[in-house]
Amino acid sequence: MSFQFQRIGAVARIGFISLAAAVLLWPAFATAAPDPDRIAVNVDQAKLVKLPGGISTIVVGNPLIADVTLQNGGVVVVTGKGYGATNFIALDRTGQVLVDRQIQVEGPTDQLVTVYRGVDRETYSCMPVCQRRITLGDGETYFKSTMDQAGSLNSQASGSGAAAKPQN
């Protein structure tokens, strides 16, 4: 057997062993335990998180990314506002740090369809019928038009509700 065939055989064996190792080790990486100091939340959604009692102050690193609201019983509501990562710190009355956690705000997980018209982006939620959805990064015209429609609908609903109240 020539040197070239031996070399090809050795490279093939190394490649096969590497592939087999990757396949065997993949479940260990794929099913790694989530980081307990990291809270993952989708943009435009909220998550309840139980914290220790005695919290009196919440500080959010970047309130454009997430909002954290303290409720009774040491529960906080974490709301994803924009994509990215930030943190929050919970303090007691004496200023001692009780909690320092990371927040990762991720994209929505519902059935989205993204339409590009040139450089302008439009987002639709398709569950089962496609409807306009306002998403960070949508084109300015689409975003404003959708916001105007939503605002008009909300004001009409509020006006109708006020008009329907019984008079005493």
pLDDT in tens, 108-160: 767 888 999 999 999 988 888 888 888 888 999 998 998 888 888 888 888 76
Q: What is the mean pLDDT of the chain?
A: 82
CATH of 38-106, one of 2.60.40.1080, 2.60.40.10, 3.40.630.10, 3.40.30.10: 2.60.40.1080
11-21 residues labelled b (16+ CB within 10 A) or e (exposed): eeeeeeeeeee
Tell me what the mean pLDDT of segment 80-97 comes to.
94
Tell me what the mean pLDDT of segment 75-103 comes to.
94
30-50 residues labelled b (16+ CB within 10 A) or e (exposed): eeeeeeeeebebbbbeeeebe
Residue 95 has pLDDT above 90, yes or no: yes
Tell me what the mean pLDDT of segment 39-44 comes to.
91
pLDDT of residue 75: 93
Domain positions in the chain are 1-32, 38-106, 112-156
User: Among candidates 117, 118, 120, 150, which has minimal Cα distance to 132?
Assistant: 150
For residues 51 and 37, give the distance between their C-alpha atoms in angstroms, rounded to a whole number. 12
Q: What are phi and psi of 52, to 5 degrees?
A: -65, 160
Tell me what the mean pLDDT of segment 79-92 comes to.
94
Per-residue pLDDT tens for 12-41?
A: 677 667 665 565 666 555 544 556 778 999
Higher pLDDT, 26 or 50: 50
Token digits for 20?
A: 């087999």
Tell me what the mean pLDDT of segment 90-99 comes to.
94
Token digits for 123?
A: 């987002």
Cα distances (angstroms) measured from residue 86 to each of 57, 83, 161:
17, 10, 39
Residue 80 has pLDDT above 70, yes or no: yes
Residue 90 has pLDDT above 90, yes or no: yes
pLDDT of residue 5: 61
User: Among candidates 91, 90, 1, 111, which has minimal Cα distance to 39?
Assistant: 90
Residues contacting residue 36 through CB under 8 Å, at least 6 positions apart: none
